[in-house]
Chains A and B, each alone.
Chain A
Amino acid sequence: MPKRSIAQFAVDYTQYLAPDGRALGPLPSFAEDAANLIPLYRSMVLTRAFDAKAIALQRTGRLGTFASSLGQEAVGIGAASAMLADDVLVPSFRDQAAQLWRGVSPLELLLYWGGDERGSDFAGPREDFPIAVPVASHAPHAAGAALAFKLRRERRAVLCILGDGATSKGDFYEALNLAGAWHLPLVILINNNQWAISVPRSAQSAAETLAQKAIAAGVPGEQLDGNDVLAVRERVAAALARAREGGGASLVEAVTYRLDDHTTADDARRYRDDAEVSRHWENDPVARLRAHLVARGVWSRAEEENVLAETAAEVDKAAEAYLATAPQPVEAMFDYLFAKLPPATLAEREEAVAEGKRRG
């Protein structure tokens, strides 16, 4: 027999809830008490309210370009809720859901997207990384932080989130490969929302799944329904727990859909049909969890109205605080360049301050 098979691989897929909220089988233990799911639901609603507010601010000239996470709320909330407080999040630019769950405030997020670096000096998760705008180049940072945990023998893990487009980049593979070779406590979560600006998932890679990219790196890879917050939470929690216990890195692909434009600077109608988007609205993760909670008798119309009002008030308050925040002084652009500013740059700082005063 000149040829024989020497390795076999499979990619698992996990889904607990049907799009109508119905349980497809036994639920993970954290979901046995339906009350445990209410904070997840509330945070998904908060994320949606935040995105809507951010877009409204942008459309009225009061916020910079913004990347909505509409339709992907379950990815961020499910994943972040699977983390422990002292784990570290290394987010991409569409991860406000995870950041909000981790304790980054809506005000801080608005400051960042409004063009103020103080938005990345969050008071909450102090060791979490700032949003990474360049695609996939943050994946090696996550591997580095995971290496730090391993070297210090800390039972902590790193969660890095990136998009489907990011998996085409070398940085993604370099980080995953290294984390595999070194058994680092790292979980890379792919938010596969089907579109990298105008390039659809089918044109991004011939790979049948993105999860299978883990196979080449020698780490576990799996796919799940990214619109099912139970699946995201349960599978990411398992991967993080394995990482903390020395079981090494893994890759999780959450299959979801970007219901909104890429950013406020994009017009998705240039490259995809409204009909496609409408179809995906039937798979809305927020509606799915709400239907599930209603079916289990823990969610009423009054509670729904209450949570909508609360989250709207929370983002309104954040928007007011954001709009009332004065810009940083001119010298702020110099004051964090180095721990101590070199004398040569000190002269530039003085010039900029004087110019700032002159302009008033």
Chain B
Amino acid sequence: MAERTLVEAINLALARAMAEDSRVVILGEDVGRDGGVFRVTEGLLGRFGGERVLDTPLAEAAIAGVSVGLAAQGFRPVAEIQFMGFAYSTIDQLLNHASRLRTRTRGRLSCPMVLRTPCGGGIHAPEHHSESGEACFTNIPGLRVVVPSSPRRAYGLLLAAIRDPDPVVFLEPTRIYRALREEVADSGEAMPLDRTFTLREGRDVTLVGWGAVTLDLLTAAERLAADGIEAEVLDVATLVPLDAERILASVEKTGRCVICHEAPLSAGFGAEIAARLAGPGLYSLLAPVERVAGYDTVMPLPRLERSYLPSVERILAGARRALSHA
């Protein structure tokens, strides 16, 4: 089995989906000849041709809106937006149209599209290239929001997203595009789009996050293990619909929870998880829920981004605060 990066795994899933379903088309800026600015669509133009891999004019709202029209006509468009900072102009299309076409027409038309975009910081990218805007999408009913955190999960979740009959926003953490390799079989097997994954089992504290920070959570868990503390690490993976049951079950066992995300703290998606813990999970809690997140500031330029992003040290501090309650 081949070891692949997350970029390669996504490329593999795209190729697989295109080979098995002629309705799947890719569209976006520089996705064809250039293979995408992160090379995610490399080789697909040559393999599938210019009617399946479309280099669009430089117009993000049109990329999303054309995808809505294609999807309503029975295609399965996979749109790429080059960077998170350019994805915000697609929110009108996602919120007002893609997510509600099925509802608005009582099922007469539907919108099976995927909108892929890189997200997150940590690669010293220019301004507007490092944000984590997932919470801008998670408050849109009718839209699934997925963030993979490993090559294998990226492959399985993207296949699921493309095959799903409804719109999916697929956020790809740039920090781990090439940071790790994993064996990925081109099995064609999708992963469920409603599942929180357990990356490490433990009974003392639950560390929950998604995307690139899951690697930091695993590192933190290793460090805690050296001190005899067993941390359970959860990868939410699909933010909407949220597998709250898995998180609640974990906290029922550990009694303590640290939620981690790169996006700003306030009204970040971690707040939703905290609310679930404060509701149905309240009597499981032995300590206040800890949130370790980006600050409520504008995402800084690269020289300060390390200070902005949640670090292993901040995660450990959060875990120790949670563990300090008897």
Contact = CB atoms under 8 A, between A and B. Distances in A.
B241 A121 contact: no
A174 B57 CA distance: 8
A171 interface: yes
B104 interface: yes
A147 B108 contact: no
Interface of B: 25, 51, 54, 56-57, 59, 61-62, 64-75, 77, 92-93, 96-97, 101-110, 141-142, 164-166, 194, 241-242, 244
A118 interface: yes
Given A151-B25, A344-B242, A117 B106 contact: yes
Contact of B104 (A130, A141, A149): A130
Contacts of A175: 62, 65-66
B35 to A, nearest CB: 20
Contacts of A182: 54
Contact of B70 (A127, A145, A345): A145
Interface string A163-178: 0000000110011011
22 contacts: A120-B108, A127-B73, A134-B96, A134-B97, A137-B92, A137-B93, A137-B96, A140-B62, A140-B64, A141-B97, A143-B65, A144-B68, A144-B69, A148-B70, A148-B73, A174-B65, A178-B57, A336-B102, A337-B102, A338-B142, A343-B241, A344-B242
Interface in A48-92: 88, 90
B61 A145 contact: no
B240 to A, nearest CB: 8
A230 interface: no
Contact of B68 (A122, A141, A149, A345): A141
Contacts of A142: 69
The residue in B56, B97, B141, B194 that gathers the most chain A C-beta atoms within 10 A of its C-beta is B97
A145 B166 contact: no
Interface in A102-123: 117-118, 120-122
Contacts of A343: 194, 241
A140 B66 contact: yes
B139 to A, nearest CB: 14
B108 A140 contact: no
A342 interface: yes
Nearest to A180: B57
Interface in A317-360: 332-333, 336-339, 342-345
Given A141-B72, A142-B69, A178 B109 contact: no
Interface string A269-306: 00000000000000000000000000000000000000
A238 interface: no
Interface of A: 88, 90, 117-118, 120-122, 126-127, 129-130, 134, 137-149, 151, 170-171, 174-175, 177-178, 181-182, 332-333, 336-339, 342-345
Given A144-B65, A178-B56, A342 B241 contact: yes
A129 B109 contact: yes
A137 B75 CA distance: 20
The residue in B69, B70, B102, B108 that gathers the most chain A C-beta atoms within 10 A of its C-beta is B69
B69 A145 contact: yes
B97 to A, nearest CB: 7
A315 B72 CA distance: 31
A96 to B, nearest CB: 17
Contacts of B110: 339
Contacts of A120: 104-106, 108
Contacts of A148: 69-70, 73-75
B209 to A, nearest CB: 19
Contact of A126 (B56, B64, B108, B241): B108
Contacts of B66: 140-141, 143-144, 147, 175, 178
A178 B59 contact: yes
A336 B74 contact: no
B73 A144 contact: yes
Given A148-B74, A337-B103, A339-B165, A140 B65 contact: yes
Given A139-B65, A144-B73, A344 B57 contact: no
